[in-house]
Chains A and B, each alone.
Chain A
Amino acid sequence: MYNYELLEHTDTVNELLARYGVKFGIYKNNTFKEQLFPFDAIPRIIEKQEFAGLEAGLKQRVQALNLFLRDIYSDKKIVKDGVVPEDFIFASSGYMAECEGVIPPKEVCSHISGIDLVQGKDRQWYVLEDNLRVPSGASYPMIAREMCRRSSPSTFENTLLEDNRNYAQLLRRTMDYVNTGGHTVILTPGRYNAAYFEHSYLAEKTGAHLVSGAELKVKEDKLYYVGYDGRLERIGAVYRRISDEYLDPMNFNPESVIGIPHIYDVFRKGNVALINAPGNGVADDKGIYYFVPKMIRYYLDEEPILQNAPTYLPFYKKDMQYVRENFDRLVLKDVAEAGGYGVVFGEKMSKGQKEEFIRLLKREPRRFIAQEVIDFLDIDILDGKQTVPRKADLRAFVLMADEPLVWKSGLTRFSRNPDSFIVNSSQGGGFKDTWVLSQ
């Protein structure tokens, strides 16, 4: 079935990736550990036609999410019109009062959106999660493609697929679009950050400067890079993955030592673009996920092209009833958690645990969502010389420049463990390149 010559070079590709430092760091029990991110050479292949459908749906979804963010931090029409209950705004941990009335440059809030999708056995794609706080991962398929081409050029000679190495150009266009004048920088907390490889790689590929917080300073309502000779160079856009809370000790958590004092004051005046904008956490909350299809109808007056996994909100009485009656079939997710944490399967709980969970659900109904367990379409991975089926998802990247741009690739993550549904890299999975066919 797979006759790519590439597959014989899996080890070479992995060695190259290791040599280039394709790693991600995780903190476990307070110690920092760097892990290689195992690459599986069998690509996930998406037909041209199929991807065109995904692309249209992704653009629509990200447009609506951006409009939602603009609305939430200003007039909140969607709340006033009764589409989203205000509980899901004001009681959300991602909502930031500091963003009220602040308009990001060109009104873009989510410049880089990572939309996590899975494909069911019925071939239907479902959105599982929206990530609007500078989702990471695009650099992995980018460099993997590069290394695969290097190890096995012949594989690519006869395959007509979209070149995914243009992510840097798309990102550059996105950053330039919102730049308020001056350089564009990629801010990194340093080499012990989980996404350090990605930061340095994207800086290299986009031509943006890789900087640490200590190299930036605010002066007279503008942000500057301080050169080694003390000269100041104006900064117009900052790509940052550091969380909102730690971004600026003068406006958010005063304990932050990695932030840039007063950077948010500069942003508030419209003198720098922060990529992504602060406050986006209110829109990628798992509770808000339920409302995304409604958002699309509300803001765009269109029917959603992409489907959500069937989701229930115990916040609504009717849904609570359904969740209690169908508990064993459902997966329950804590809205405040991410990275595959806070996810429990009804069928895997003992009777006592279930009763306890239902009590918790009644006490804090807004804290959880319940979803039907999707029967994933397994995809093959290499296990030695054999192929074995595993669960996988796809993180698609949507960039918001003067128009939404969908990267014709994506990060396919799979779980190593045959029984696991959880594909997050922080929990030990691997990744694949995603090929979008061009014909």
Chain B
Amino acid sequence: MKRLHFDYTMQIHYSEPVSTCHYTIKCIPPDTDRQRLEKTEITLSAKEDPGRSRDSFGNQILYGRVEGDHTDFSFHIAGDVSVNRTACESKGKEAMLGLFRYPHGLAVPGEELAAYYRTLKLTGSAYEKGAALMHRLYQDYAYEKNVTDIHTTAEEAWRLGRGVCQDYAHIMIALARLEGIPARYVCGMLVGEGYSHAWAELLCENGWYAFDPTNNLVVTDSHIKLGVGRDAGDCEINRGVMHGGGIQTQQISVSVTEKG
């Protein structure tokens, strides 16, 4: 077990006033077998307190609306999380597993990814297959920023041959599902990184193990989980719908540090 401190700030500036804005924020680390949220502090630029809820995947939601002309919107969530309390998360509700077995959204494989899958010839336990998949992906896929975006599918990212953590995670999920292993997308934060991160969880013999194919490591004590779902779309950190606003500029700063 280890204690981490995190700090997530998002600031949005609009070039023209927004008259009404609706927001949904999924940025609170959930309590799981592996991690526990010990302290949090939430600040929003919205005057009214946000509503709180949970989506079907258990992700915590803050939501609300901001009325009256404004040109800035921001939120700041900070806290302490103890991580690596166990090696894996328990299987969870049986009835939900199908959700992570079927191709969905951005993690749907196409012909080229399926062809790559056939070359993998995975063997062993689900955990061993997961680890092998992660190593192969780390070797066969290149990290490069700004060549893909949040709407890029696993197949598109694979054809391109390079991308970022979201693409690694989608490709890994698509491949694991082809192998019959339930797999889910995780959005979160990583010690030392200045932005959010993404990885994959695979249901292995003892429970859900987290694999970070971008860094080629099995997640232990340096990651904080924020959201989980079938693909990145299920765990969008922030969604906003607004009237007006012109051009938006968004600034995100994330920091995760070890606490003594």
- Given A74-B95, A79-B98: A97 touches B234 (CB 8 Å cut-off): yes
Chain A residues near B229 (CB-CB < 8 A): 97
Smallest CB gap from B61: residue in A: A265
The reply on B94 being an interface residue by CB < 8 A is yes
- Given A254-B241, A261-B65: A101 touches B53 (CB 8 Å cut-off): no
Stretch at the interface among A83-91, A125-133, A192-200, A204-212: A83-91
The reply on B56 being an interface residue by CB < 8 A is yes
The reply on A99 being an interface residue by CB < 8 A is yes
Chain B residues near A217 (CB-CB < 8 A): 65
Q: Produce 1/0 per residue, A214-243, CB < 8 A to B.
A: 000111110000000000000000000000
Q: Is the CB of B24 within 8 A of A75?
A: no
The reply on A268 being an interface residue by CB < 8 A is yes
The reply on A170 being an interface residue by CB < 8 A is no
The reply on B102 being an interface residue by CB < 8 A is yes
Complex: how many Å from CA A91 to CA B99? 9
Which of A89, A97, A269 is B53 in contact with, Cβ under 8 Å? Answer: A269
Which parts of B64-85 form the interface with A (CB within 8 Å)?
Answer: 64-65
Q: Is the CB of B22 within 8 A of A98?
A: no
The reply on A102 being an interface residue by CB < 8 A is yes
Which of B24, B96, B102 is A91 in contact with, Cβ under 8 Å? Answer: B102
The reply on B101 being an interface residue by CB < 8 A is yes
Complex: how many Å from CA A90 to CA B95? 11
Smallest CB gap from A217: residue in B: B65
The reply on A363 being an interface residue by CB < 8 A is no
Q: Is the CB of B63 within 8 A of A265?
A: yes
Q: Is the CB of A75 within 8 A of B63?
A: no
CB B103 to nearest CB in A, in angstroms, measures: 8
CB B6 to nearest CB in A, in angstroms, measures: 25
Complex: how many Å from CA A90 to CA B100? 9
Q: Produce 1/0 per residue, A86-109, CB < 8 A to B.
A: 100111000001111110000000
- Given A98-B55, A254-B241: A262 touches B95 (CB 8 Å cut-off): no
- Given A261-B22, A262-B22: A98 touches B56 (CB 8 Å cut-off): yes
The reply on B239 being an interface residue by CB < 8 A is yes
Which of B57, B61, B98 is A90 in contact with, Cβ under 8 Å? Answer: B98
Which parts of A267-323 form the interface with B (CB within 8 Å)?
Answer: 268-269
Q: Is the CB of A220 within 8 A of B51?
A: yes
CB B146 to nearest CB in A, in angstroms, measures: 23
The reply on B129 being an interface residue by CB < 8 A is no
Smallest CB gap from B102: residue in A: A90
- Given A90-B101, A250-B63, A250-B241: A101 touches B56 (CB 8 Å cut-off): yes
Chain B residues near A254 (CB-CB < 8 A): 239, 241
The reply on A80 being an interface residue by CB < 8 A is yes
- Residue from B55, B57, B61, B234 with most neighbouring chain A CB atoms (10 Å): B55
Which parts of B26-76 form the interface with A (CB within 8 Å)?
Answer: 51, 53, 55-57, 61, 63-65
Q: Is the CB of B241 within 8 A of A76?
A: no
The reply on A249 being an interface residue by CB < 8 A is yes
Complex: how many Å from CA A298 to CA B98? 21
Complex: how many Å from CA A219 to CA B57? 24
Complex: how many Å from CA A79 to CA B53? 28
CB A417 to nearest CB in B, in angstroms, measures: 40
Chain B residues near A74 (CB-CB < 8 A): 95
The reply on B230 being an interface residue by CB < 8 A is yes
Q: Is the CB of A250 within 8 A of B56?
A: no
Q: Is the CB of A250 within 8 A of B95?
A: no
Q: Is the CB of B241 within 8 A of A102?
A: no
Q: Is the CB of A99 within 8 A of B239?
A: no
Which of B53, B96, B241 is A265 in contact with, Cβ under 8 Å? Answer: B53
Complex: how many Å from CA A86 to CA B101? 10
Q: Is the CB of B98 within 8 A of A89?
A: yes
Smallest CB gap from A220: residue in B: B51
Q: Is the CB of B98 within 8 A of A250?
A: no
Q: Is the CB of B98 within 8 A of A265?
A: no
Q: Is the CB of B230 within 8 A of A97?
A: yes
CB B50 to nearest CB in A, in angstroms, measures: 10
Which parts of B209-249 form the interface with A (CB within 8 Å)?
Answer: 229-230, 234, 239, 241
Q: Is the CB of B98 within 8 A of A86?
A: yes
Chain A residues near B63 (CB-CB < 8 A): 250, 262, 265
Which of B24, B96, B102, B230 is A250 in contact with, Cβ under 8 Å? Answer: B24
CB B174 to nearest CB in A, in angstroms, measures: 15
- Given A250-B22, A250-B239, A265-B63: A100 touches B96 (CB 8 Å cut-off): yes
Q: Is the CB of A97 within 8 A of B99?
A: yes
Chain B residues near A79 (CB-CB < 8 A): 95, 98
Smallest CB gap from A89: residue in B: B98
- Residue from A219, A261, A269 with most neighbouring chain B CB atoms (10 Å): A261
Chain A residues near B98 (CB-CB < 8 A): 76, 79, 86, 89-90
Chain A residues near B94 (CB-CB < 8 A): 80
- Given A75-B95, A91-B102: A262 touches B55 (CB 8 Å cut-off): no
CB A402 to nearest CB in B, in angstroms, measures: 28
CB A219 to nearest CB in B, in angstroms, measures: 8
Q: Is the CB of A80 within 8 A of B95?
A: yes
Which of B56, B61, B64, B239 is A100 in contact with, Cβ under 8 Å? Answer: B56
Complex: how many Å from CA A247 to CA B212? 35
Which 8 pairs from chain A and chain B are nearest by CB? A100-B56, A261-B22, A90-B102, A76-B95, A90-B98, A86-B98, A249-B241, A250-B24
With A98-B56, A249-B22, A261-B241 given, can you name 14 additional A-B contacts, CB distance below 8 Å?
A: A75-B95, A76-B95, A86-B98, A89-B98, A90-B99, A97-B57, A97-B230, A99-B56, A218-B65, A250-B63, A254-B241, A262-B64, A262-B65, A269-B53
List B residues at the A interface (Cβ < 8 Å). 22, 24, 51, 53, 55-57, 61, 63-65, 94-96, 98-99, 101-102, 229-230, 234, 239, 241
| 17 A–B contacts, CB within 8 A, in A order | A74-B95, A75-B95, A79-B98, A89-B98, A90-B102, A91-B102, A97-B229, A97-B234, A100-B96, A100-B99, A102-B56, A249-B22, A250-B22, A262-B22, A262-B63, A262-B64, A262-B65
